[in-house]
């Protein structure tokens, strides 16, 4: 009796797919109280920067997109610039990250990022260019702005929105609770961050 014929291709394809899933490194979601995801990215001056180089310092990560009205709310009022300068005065390293892909809203070349920094008076320690979205995805960054704070030990202590006013209207800056300001104040006073997580708001990151 002739055994029934069947194709081995679907079976082999299924095995290969499972093997690929097992072999592919899964990105662990960033979590409060855990080590912040490591990354390396080139900044707008062409220098390679790594999170590890700032160990021993508090680091703020700010996802930005100058075409986003929610980002414009903070920059046109110069609220973001003042916060960047205030943080720097306390020894905090502020890194602005552009994860927009080429051709998408907010994408910038190094020269364009430097021009934007000059024109707005932005004052981060560096602007990191992340056109492939690798850093953004490692942090599960969803919006612009989306904020994260890493303590001197390299632990993530805050992630979420910059404040509690989900609006692009600059008038809402008045009376807003700025979660980044509050978290940095807690850290400066030696306290645990009272509100380590909040809902991010703004435009979607343009991966």
160-197 residue pLDDT tens? 999 999 999 999 999 999 999 999 999 999 999 999 99
CA distances from 190 to 10, 184, 196 (A): 59, 10, 15
Q: Which residues contact 165 (CB under 8 A, 6 or more apart)?
A: 172, 173, 176
| pLDDT value of position 158 | 98
Assessment of whether the complete model's pTM goes beyond 0.75? yes
Q: 42 φ, ψ to 5°?
A: -90, 135
Residues of the chain with pLDDT under 50: 1-25
| pLDDT value of position 29 | 86
Residue written as tokens 């707005």? 120
The answer to whether the CB of 186 falls within 8 A of the CB of 178 is: no
Among residues 155, 195, 147, 146, which one has the least CA distance to residue 32?
Answer: 155
**SS (HEC) of 53-71:** HHCCCCEEEEECCCCCHHH
Q: 70 φ, ψ to 5°?
A: -70, -35
Between helix 179-188 and helix 79-89 the angle, nearest 10°, is 10
| pLDDT value of position 146 | 98
The answer to whether the CB of 39 falls within 8 A of the CB of 150 is: no
């Amino acid at each position: 009796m002739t055994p029934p014929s069947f194709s081995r291709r679907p079976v082999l394809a299924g095995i290969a797919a499972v093997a690929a899933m097992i072999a592919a490194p899964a990105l662990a979601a960033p979590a409060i109280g855990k080590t912040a995801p490591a990354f390396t990215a080139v900044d707008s001056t062409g220098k390679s920067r790594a999170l590890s180089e700032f160990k021993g310092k508090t680091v703020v990560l700010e996802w930005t997109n100058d075409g986003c009205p929610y980002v414009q709310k903070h920059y046109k009022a110069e609220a973001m610039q003042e916060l960047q300068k205030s943080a720097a005065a306390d020894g905090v390293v502020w890194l602005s990250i552009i994860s927009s892909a080429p051709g998408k809203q907010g994408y910038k070349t190094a020269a364009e990022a430097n021009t934007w920094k000059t024109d707005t008076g932005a004052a981060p320690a560096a602007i990191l260019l992340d056109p492939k979205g690798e850093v953004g995805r490692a942090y599960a960054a969803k919006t612009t702005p989306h904020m994260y704070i890493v303590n001197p030990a390299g632990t993530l202590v805050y992630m979420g929105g910059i404040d509690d006013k989900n609006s692009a209207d600059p008038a809402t800056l008045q009376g807003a609770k700025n979660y980044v300001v509050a978290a940095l104040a807690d850290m400066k006073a030696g306290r645990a961050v009272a509100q380590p997580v909040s809902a991010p708001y703004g435009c979607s990151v343009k991966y």
